[in-house]
Amino acid sequence: MGMSSSSLILCLLLLAANLAVIAGAKNEYKVGDGDGWRVPADNDPDFYETWASKIKFIVGDSIVFDYHNDSVAKVSKRGYYHCNETSKTPTLKDGSTVIVLDKLGFYYFVSGDVEHCEKGQRLMVEVAGLPLVPTPSPDSSSASVASCSVLSAVTAVGFGAWWVAVGFSH
């Protein structure tokens, strides 16, 4: 077979890490948590900046804006800083808006109400890539690396566990 038990175990650890990343890759965050999407309190104009700074957004995550009698518009960086771009940008008003963060980089959102934006109802989100998955160390034999890739690509955890059982019995 050419694949030792230890390389199998390494391989399964890598596979588990891959699955954990995949399973953990899609979080949905409610903007502003319990406060939702509204004009922040007068003494807390950076409310949404603070909210966003606590989260590490990655590609595939989504954010939900929950609001009443308000709206949300995706704007450029300039529109975010100057609160002057809402009129030419389609504004969503359905009360609950889900945005999928499907690419890297910065996203900017404002309330469609310019006054609300000026009072701090605006959100900037930075989206990073997927966390790096550990790769086999260079001294692993090429055979086990190749087997590992195949195993990672085609197996689920249950099948992997069965494979280990078979491997140990030989």
Ligand X SMILES: *[C@@H]1O[C@H](CO)[C@@H](O)[C@H](O)[C@H]1NC(C)=O
| 84 touches ligand X (CB under 6 A) | yes
Binding of residue 85 to ligand X (CB under 6 A): yes
Does 86 interact with ligand X (rule: CB under 6 A)? Answer: no
Minimum Å gap between C-beta 136 and ligand X is 51
Site string for ligand X, 44-83 (x = CB under 6 A): -------------------------x--------x---x-
Q: How far is the CB of 37 from ligand X (least distance, A)?
A: 14
Q: Are 72 and 83 in contact (CB under 8 A)?
A: no
Whose Cβ is closer to ligand X: residue 54's or residue 68's? 68
Interface size with ligand X, residues (CB under 6 A): 5
Verify binding: residue 93, ligand X, rule CB under 6 A: no
Rank residues 69 and 169 by Cβ distance to ligand X and give the closer one. Answer: 69
The nearer residue to ligand X, 31 or 83, going by C-beta atoms, is: 83
Least separation, in Å, of the C-beta of 54 and ligand X? 29
Cβ atoms within 10 A of the Cβ of 31, count? 22
137 contributes a contact to ligand X by CB under 6 A: no
Residues sharing a CB contact under 8 Å with residue 77, sequence separation 6 or more, in sequence order: 106, 108
The binding site for ligand X (CB under 6 A) comprises 69, 78, 82, 84-85
